[in-house]
Amino acid sequence: MVDVAALVAGAREGAPRAVARLISLVEGASPQLREVMAALAPHCGNAYVVGLTGSPGVGKSTTTSALVTAYRAQGRRVGVLAVDPSSPFSGGALLGDRVRMGEHASDPGVYIRSMATRGHLGGLAWAAPQAIRVLDAAGCDVVLVETVGVGQSEVEIAAQADTSVVLLAPGMGDGIQAAKAGILEIGDAYVVNKADRDGAGATVRELNHMLGLGEARRPGDWRPPVVKAVAARGEGVEEMVAALDKHRGWMEEHGVLAERRAARAAKEIENIALTALRERMGELRGGKRLDALAARVVEGSLDPYAAADALVEGVTEG
Amino acid sequence: MVDVAALVAGAREGAPRAVARLISLVEGASPQLREVMAALAPHCGNAYVVGLTGSPGVGKSTTTSALVTAYRAQGRRVGVLAVDPSSPFSGGALLGDRVRMGEHASDPGVYIRSMATRGHLGGLAWAAPQAIRVLDAAGCDVVLVETVGVGQSEVEIAAQADTSVVLLAPGMGDGIQAAKAGILEIGDAYVVNKADRDGAGATVRELNHMLGLGEARRPGDWRPPVVKAVAARGEGVEEMVAALDKHRGWMEEHGVLAERRAARAAKEIENIALTALRERMGELRGGKRLDALAARVVEGSLDPYAAADALVEGVTEG
């Protein structure tokens, strides 16, 4: 058994190996997961969590790296969680340009972790919040969660973050994609990266136009800013940080930060509870109860709702 | 209140309006949903469910329509469920080429229904199985479930179908996409449609190659066939039907059909039960229990796992 208390103490003192070990424990759903989470709880709640999402090729890693540099210059400790989508089947992460983060690898004020989303459901939803908690408890002032915007991952990231940043690049047909994927509803800020390319102005205009088309905002509502950047040259990074600071300030002023964190915690608790209940269902009558009910549904002697009632009864009445 | 027994009787006699009304009831999660499902149960289990998925532009509707024609020529009754992906936010369906199915609209042996997937989770998983049951009980010999392969929808469709068909078209970079999306693991048969286009042969070869690269098959394992077709001209449709018949025969011979249906029913029951339990969680202490636990997690006096334990306890001990 791992000495969890010692690991947490080590992480709190800034030992990168202790942080890495803790993330491995929570990511791997170790039997000590509960012990780890209980030990982390009192130290959580300080980190500002920023989600960064966008299609492949918009420069997410470069932008993340530039943000790390900017926050480090302010003396803040930064955690980076790079979530890589993977096949729901292979379980393998499509790593790649993580190397661009290399410049920060030797900085003791920066923790960088890549994470695969194992399976299409649950992967990100389960592992990421726990890993964020580790980085939070380890004293990170800011946690940047970077993910490729494919399928639902950007929506999930938005649900995990205090502030969600959507990255785009000129001339990638992102405008139409944005509308389709619903990213117009998840971004608290938009960054048009590679803004030295043709069409940057048009992309910014299109985005601003579409953001303005949304349902009528009430006075005081947040209007997501659109920032132009060339992250590879550090251009626009100051503006990005300013936009994030502004959003954080707005959220604090309007009670939105507390609201978002409470909603996130509620969702997380609910997910963990449902997983526990699903396990109990699977274990009913030595794992035979659900199979027996399914057989009756297949043969038509029971409908799935009546079967579900029987299953719920089994779980809730021991 | 709707007279469910009369509707089910009407549907069994082939009244299209009764079928449509029943689907609306189950799709809209009507208060009479349970009554409907109970009334349908004894009449379910006869339909052969075929899922068709593929990227936009591969000709899914055309292929579905061609399959309907082929099955109708055999005198079989056919149901078509066209599942349209929608933004998790808008709730609106991106309908479109449903009109291509128009030629079957006046055929009393064909039921066609479009369905939006409301919300990224649950939409397809919930509504589609119930709608399939309606079509099954209404006497359809074959139910074709067609969906655009975006995000996880193709995986969900594969989970609902007895046989999953993945459609591709030449020169769409589908090969690489296929590998990424994991569709190589969900197809029981592959159709390279628009095979009169350049590159059809290469797509077929690439697919066959990749299908061969999968983990070593045991003797007797199903090897998904790759069929070339030009559905708009009816070419290759006979081969598709033959491939489907062959797969169905193989599944019956090896007990796989019964296995799949049992697994599907088990998953469905579990999902319904979990939804019921989630509702109970939300209702605990007048809806305040989860909020109170979330507040404690946010302030760090409780970890999410301990909070989940408390929530589960509340649900299972009344």
What string of DSSP letters covers chain B?
---HHHHHHHHHTT-HHHHHHHHHHHHTT-TTHHHHHHHHGGG-S-PEEEEEEE-TTS-HHHHHHHHHHHHHHTT--EEEEEEEP--TTT------GGGGGGGGTT-TTEEEEEEE--SSSSHHHHHHHHHHHHHHHTT-SEEEEEEE--TTHHHHHHHH-SEEEEEE-TTSSHHHHHHHHTGGGT-SEEEE-STTSTTHHHHHHHHHHHHHHSSPPPTT-----EEE-BGGGTBTHHHHHHHHHHHHHHHHHTTHHHHHHHHHHHHHHHHHHHHHHHHHHHHHHHHTHHHHHHHHHHHTSS-HHHHHHHHHHHHHT-
Higher pLDDT, A118 or B288: B288
In this predicted structure, what is the pLDDT of residue B215? 56
Task: For residues B235-253, give the mean pLDDT.
Answer: 97
For residue B105, name the pLDDT band (cuts at 50, 70, 90).
confident
Give percent of chain A above pLDDT 90: 50
The answer to whether A182 contacts B45, with C-beta atoms less than 8 Å apart, is no
**Mutation choice for B interface testing from A34, A269, A281 by most B CBs within 10 A:** A269
Highest mean pLDDT, choosing among A162-171, A278-287, B52-61, B234-243: B234-243
Residues with Cβ < 8 Å from A233, sequence gap 6 or more? Answer: none
Which pLDDT tens digit goes with each residue over A195-209?
999 999 998 988 888
The answer to whether A270 contacts B311, with C-beta atoms less than 8 Å apart, is yes
Which pLDDT tens digit goes with each residue over B150-172?
555 556 666 789 999 999 888 76
Residues in chain A with CB shorter than 8 Å from the CB of B272 are 304-305, 307-308
Residues with Cβ < 8 Å from A96, sequence gap 6 or more? Answer: none
CA distance A115 to chain B (A): 17
Point out the residue among B182, B302, B306 whose CB comes nearest to the CB of A87: B182
Tell me the count of A-B CB pairs closer than 8 A.
191
Judged by average pLDDT, the poorest of A85-99, A146-160, A226-240 is: A85-99
Point out the residue among A266, A274, A304 whose CB comes nearest to the CB of B291: A266
B46-254 under CATH 1.50.10.10, yes or no: no
Residues in chain B with CB shorter than 8 Å from the CB of A41 are 297, 300-303
Whether the predicted pLDDT of A292 surpasses 70: yes
Q: Please check whether residue B25 is in contact with residue B2, taking contact to mean a CB–CB distance below 8 angstroms.
A: yes
For chain B, domain boundaries: 46-254, 268-316
For residue A45, name the pLDDT band (cuts at 50, 70, 90).
very high
Give the chain A residue whose CA is nearest to the CA of B272.
A308
Whether the predicted pLDDT of A262 surpasses 60: yes
d(CA A204, CA A99): 29
Task: For residues A133-154, give the mean pLDDT.
Answer: 83
Residues in chain B with CB shorter than 8 Å from the CB of A297 are 41, 265, 268-269
In this predicted structure, what is the pLDDT of residue A30? 76
Residues in chain A with CB shorter than 8 Å from the CB of B270 are 278, 281, 290, 308, 311
Higher pLDDT, A260 or B173: A260
The answer to whether A277 contacts B274, with C-beta atoms less than 8 Å apart, is yes
Domain A44-254 belongs to what architecture? 3-Layer(aba) Sandwich (3.40)
Whether the predicted pLDDT of B310 surpasses 80: yes
The answer to whether A87 contacts B307, with C-beta atoms less than 8 Å apart, is no
Residues in chain A with CB shorter than 8 Å from the CB of B269 are 290, 293-294, 297, 304, 307-308, 311
CA distance A238 to chain B (A): 30
CA distance A270 to chain B (A): 7
The answer to whether A269 contacts B311, with C-beta atoms less than 8 Å apart, is yes
Whether the predicted pLDDT of B64 surpasses 60: yes
CA distance B194 to chain A (A): 26
Judged by average pLDDT, the poorest of A92-101, A291-300, B2-11, B220-229 is: A92-101
Q: Please check whether residue B22 is in contact with residue B134, taking contact to mean a CB–CB distance below 8 angstroms.
A: yes
The answer to whether B303 contacts A90, with C-beta atoms less than 8 Å apart, is no
The residue with tokens 């975006």 is B150
**Mutation choice for A interface testing from B124, B259, B303 by most A CBs within 10 A:** B303
In this predicted structure, what is the pLDDT of residue B107? 85
Residues in chain A with CB shorter than 8 Å from the CB of B293 are 265-266, 269
In this predicted structure, what is the pLDDT of residue B155? 64
Point out the residue among B33, B263, B308 whose CB comes nearest to the CB of A272: B308
The answer to whether B89 contacts A182, with C-beta atoms less than 8 Å apart, is yes
